[in-house]
Amino acid sequence: MSLNKEEVFKQAVSILKTRIQELKEERKAISDGILEDDKSSAGDKFETGREMLTQDLRQVESQITSNSNLLDEIYRVQSVKSQSSNVREGSLIRLAGEYFLIAAAVGKITVNEQGLYLISAASPLAQSVMGKGSGDKVLFKGKESPVELIA
């Protein structure tokens, strides 16, 4: 199956926007919980409950920021349209039967029923394939595997 890089970017953007929206809804629910707890509680139980909700809120805020940064990174990499015969940031490659897009650390996604991984250019795997051309071999999962540059 052939993957279209633009479809991969589109799916990644959609996934990240959905994650961010869900996290914003969770943030609102936690904030509402803090306000509701404020109205009905008193004493040590109140303080403990409120602190737990505050920690949850901080964690959700951190996840929103992290996913927003990933989305910005996807947009940045997507905007670079230059072609190269060597692997670089923005390259879609196949290695040992698995597909990878070197863009941002989003993880595994599915596009047209094909699974692939979005990895950061700073990841060890990306660093090992950067600058390689189609057919060049790299050590992957304990064995030499040829790099196939898709797009």
pLDDT digits (tens, 9 = 90+) for 32-90: 877 776 555 555 555 677 778 889 899 999 999 999 999 999 999 998 877 788 999 99
The torsion defined by the Cα of 89, 95, 98 and 99, in degrees rounded to 10, comes to 20
- What distance in Å separates the CA atoms of residue 77 and residue 75, rounded to the nearest whole number? 6
Indicate the pTM of the whole model: 0.82
Tell me the per-residue pLDDT of 20-34, one tens digit each, with 9 for 90 and over: 999 999 999 988 877
